[in-house]
Amino acid sequence: MPEARTILLPMSQRIVVKLGTSVLTGGTRQLNRAQMVELTRQCAQLHHCGHEVILCSSGAQAAGRAALGFPELPSTLANKQMFAAVGQSKLMGMWESFFDIYGVHVGQILLTRADTENRHRFLNARDTFAALLERRIVPVVNENDAVSNDEIKVGDNDNLSALVAVLAGAELLVLLTDQPGLFTADPRSHPEAELIREVHRIDESLRALAGGPKSGLGVGGMATKLQAADIARRAGTSVVIAAGSMPNVLQRIVAGEEVGTRFPALESLEARKHWILAGQAPAGSLVVDAGAALALRHKGRSLLPAGIVTVEGGFERGDTVFVRENSGPPLARGVSRYSSDDLQRISGCQSSHIAERLGYDYGPVAVHRNDLILLG
Ligand code: GLU
């Protein structure tokens, strides 16, 4: 047995836990409630220790099939959507009652790829995660299977959970499956195969290794887990693939024990911001007063509408803008939470008055610190 290695981790982490259908059913045709309660217990314990847990749960279609008595139907998109429509509410009802045992509220978020690719919707979804987590509610995410066709669906919950980790700015993504991790060969046909403890490079040979057969009921296999790991670690999230049936698996991973296959994050939080801001030429500028410039430069604050003197250019909520002081060079670049039209109306205004002026609000800040990089 290799000696356990402990890695120093932050006290409180934002963790996305992805539970595949194979974990939730334990390889049977039905959701295994005892297994779900056990995983709920582990998530709730992390939650009560101060961590922020986001659950990405498969199992809607499995629950729908079981509820309808396993009808023998052709595997068409419409039938899958029907199973998901029936099963998603059942699945959610189960999570609700299991988390309730531990006094934890849950909130359902159903996403499609379109929600992560369109900037406006990306920001909306991000605000929803932030609002839930701020109130210590555990978001339970699944793909919106009932309405997503091939054009807009992510297709598997491994990739979906990686997008959620990026969206929510998670430190850790745990992909729980029916395997202890990634092996040097398929352990079912190669008993000498060894568990790979840590992956620093995802290259062709690793992809070839993971390209093997998919597990029974779920959509993903190791190939989609590698894709997910690659997306997440590039955006600053560490990833662990481990067996959902291992006792206290989540506690052990979060404690930094060497469990499963770990993919250390490639990027720092600052680099994540570059990733969020990448590819968008600033569409305008926010000219701020000296107090706001100081707060941004030296105090690590967000930019509030009160500090904005002038709004230059035309842009939408979610567009990238420069922040400058007078006519000087840009001091920062960030994502605006309000359109230029909105900001014209609320610049110089206290955040508590935004809703009054606009008739709605997207929160108190114009550019959030997490979406802002200082220049120069
Ligand atoms: N969203 C699907 C479901 O809940 C599962 C997709 C997957 O297993 O990756 O049934």
How high is the pLDDT of residue 4?
Answer: 44
Any atom of ligand 1 within 6 Å of the Cβ of 156: yes
**Consecutive H or E run containing 335:** strand 330-335
* Site to substitute for ligand 1 among 58, 112, 152, most atoms within 8 A of C-beta: 58
Query: CB neighbours (10 Å) of residue 124?
Result: 14
Longest CA–CA separation in the chain, Å: 69
Say whether 279-374 and 14-273 share the same fold.
Answer: no
What does each C-alpha distance from 78 to 31, 38, 88, 114, 272 come to in angstroms?
22, 33, 15, 19, 38
What is the C-alpha to C-alpha distance for residues 258 and 4, in angstroms, rounded to an integer? 6
Query: CB neighbours (10 Å) of residue 5?
Result: 10
- Tens of pLDDT along 204-229? 888 887 775 444 334 457 889 998 99
Any atom of ligand 1 within 6 Å of the Cβ of 142: yes
Q: Given the CA of residue 83, which atom of ligand 1 is nearest to it?
A: 10
- Phi and psi at 74, nearest 5°, equal -60, 150
How high is the pLDDT of residue 107?
Answer: 98
Cβ-based burial of 2 (10 A; exposed 0-12, middle 13-18, buried ≥19): exposed
Q: Given the CA of residue 61, which atom of ligand 1 is nearest to it?
A: 10
How high is the pLDDT of residue 274?
Answer: 60
Domain map (residue ranges) of the chain? 14-273, 279-374
Q: What is the CATH number of domain 279-374?
A: 2.30.130.10
Q: Given the CA of residue 224, which atom of ligand 1 is nearest to it?
A: 9
| pLDDT above 90: percentage of residues in the chain | 61
Ligand 1 centre from 279 Cα, in Å? Answer: 31
Ligand 1 centre from 343 Cα, in Å? Answer: 41
Cβ-based burial of 10 (10 A; exposed 0-12, middle 13-18, buried ≥19): exposed
Ligand 1 centre from 37 Cα, in Å? Answer: 19
3-state class of 97 per DSSP? helix
Nearest CA to ligand 1 atom 2: 58
Any atom of ligand 1 within 6 Å of the Cβ of 59: yes
- Phi and psi at 195, nearest 5°, equal -70, 130
What is the C-alpha to C-alpha distance for residues 23 and 178, in angstroms, rounded to an integer? 6
Ligand 1 centre from 82 Cα, in Å? Answer: 13
The C-alpha torsion from 178 through 183 and 186 to 191, rounded to 10°, is -100
Cross-strand partners of 174? 17, 240
CA nearest neighbour of 305 among 361, 259, 266: 361
Ligand 1 centre from 128 Cα, in Å? Answer: 22
Query: CB neighbours (10 Å) of residue 46?
Result: 20
| pLDDT averaged over 10-residue windows placed end to end, the chain, 376 residues | 45 93 91 96 96 97 95 92 96 98 98 80 87 96 89 87 90 94 84 91 82 47 89 89 96 95 80 59 90 91 95 90 86 91 96 94 90 79
Ligand 1 centre from 51 Cα, in Å? Answer: 25
Q: What is the CATH number of domain 14-273?
A: 3.40.1160.10
